Structure 1
Amino acid sequence: MAHESLSTALLRLDQYARAFVLGSLARFRKLSWRGKLFVVALALFNITLVTTVIIVGPEAIFQYFYRLSQKLKNAPFGWLISASLLILASFPPMIGFYTMVSITGFAWGLKGMYIAGPGALVGAGLSFLTLRLLFHKKLRELQQSNKHWRALDQVVAARGLPLIILIRLSPIPPWVYSTALFASITSVKFWQFIVANLFLMPKIFLTVFVASRIAALADKDQRGEMDTTTKILNYASVALGIIIGVGTGWVVYRLTQQKIRELPEFPREIDDAAADALLEAEQGAPLLRDYSPEPEDDDEPLSPIGSARKLGRDEGAR
């Protein structure tokens, strides 16, 4: 019995891994040459970043960021500069929003929340309104030509604010593309988007808190004055904060996918297409890239679950 359960679990894991690869390749093939170039550049950036951390060492890197954050804190209108950078990082295709949130925690400690919180709300709101105003014509074209986006619009309209909050809390799509995603969905009202951002404040506070603890450990002077117990508590706080952040992000993402895929008033095809639209947004919302209509019948599933279903159907047909 136990052997059968293990075999079943391994089979599901194999199917999920194969489906993930198929879904990722399908999503990559659908990208324009600019999108493919962006993915390759992002991969190279991450490889370079990891290599730098290994060669230079995390202690030297954190010390550098601590000194940089202190210069920002002591600069005239440093808080305004930090808030402005947060707002700027909220506009796609800019990246580094949570890096800027972390820097506020590095520089001002927990008081950095007074900068990060309002900065996040203002940045998200301005980005949402700007995208809506600039791309209102493309919105209509998108709804007519992309079945994934039509499905997501229908699902969000049916579920309303609770689903909007879940999607905003989900780590996928990332912050900046999540804003573009909501601007792309005609059924999302501005007030609903702002309310969803208010529910994101605990996550931003957690980021500021973890950054403030890392800052205390990064500075040699502060670290030298700590006794062993204080150091352990700080390290434990950082580890616990990261675990909570990653864990809740994963749970929220799975819950979001589940809620989208289990709408009784829509057929399964609509639910799957809506879930796939979120994964499209992970590569950059359609409002921000060149788009050509896709064939309705030959769309490849983008998500691992959708790919697994297609994989199962193909193997069953054989």
Structure 2
Amino acid sequence: MEKDAKIYIAGHRGMVGSAILRNLKAKGYSSFILRTSSELDLKDQQAVIRFFEKEKPDYVFLAAAKVGGINANNIYRADFLYDNLSIQNNVIHCSYLQGVKKLLFLGSSCIYPKLAPQPLKEKYILSGELEPTNEPYAIAKIAGIKLCEAYRDQYACNFISVMPTNLYGVNDNYHPDNSHVLPALIRRFHEAKVNNLAEVVIWGSGKPLREFLFADDMADASVFLMENYDEKEFVNIGTGKEISISDLAKLVKTIIGYEGNIVYDSSKPDGTPRKLLDVTKLTNLGWHYNTELREGIEIAYKDFLKNN
């Protein structure tokens, strides 16, 4: 990418989009096209067409999406499918129409089958049944990957896709019902500490294994791939390390300084038993994560305190 190229970041105020913007600015990029969701509804096809015709971006980071944890994915199944399909269809198609030089689509590791072999290799996509609790979101993200591949095949568009593992960091969503597991734990333990509660209840058994990547590392990998990768196959982005939900809860508890008990509600769903990405491809390309889990959670907690 040229340092003065016009770069559109869809979703620039979200956790990932804002991290990408910070990373690009730090690397010397200077010309950004930014719109909030109130200024541009990416679900509105005509509005997106007018935006692309007017602004004519050179590069696009598609980080805008409707996201949430297990609870939100289960409840708002139609919204997660329709909204995400609409957003990515409009942005990807208009990027083709306006001759965008390169587009990066951000997917999600939930695209992989629930019982796929671990660690998850890129080739395992569509090899088995999805995890039911987030199937609509996964289907939307799979469609986005395939749409990028199809525009590449039919129109020679340089559209690439990346598959991040579970993300957390600055500007995360700490909604009490709709957040992902790590920000949900930060909020829960903080509130329990402030209110002197005797226990914190964690959904599920605590046994599932998860991988977590700091959002600023995700952003760095995304910019690295925009600068260095032009192939059809999507790329996993992660740390290659995993931790059980119970050990994660204990780590968050320690960082926040909560002294009560942890109780597991096994009547709630666990989700996929294990989800670890194989990051061999990304490592071979020359990128490696920088932020260890404890350090990242400490930064995220400071951001939570600042904004909540």
TM-score by length of 1: 0.27
Q: Compare the two structures and name the one with the higher strand fraction.
A: 2
Q: Compare the two structures and name the one with the higher helix fraction.
A: 1
Higher relative contact order (CA 8 A, sep 6+): 1
Bigger radius of gyration among the two: 1
TM-score by length of 2: 0.28
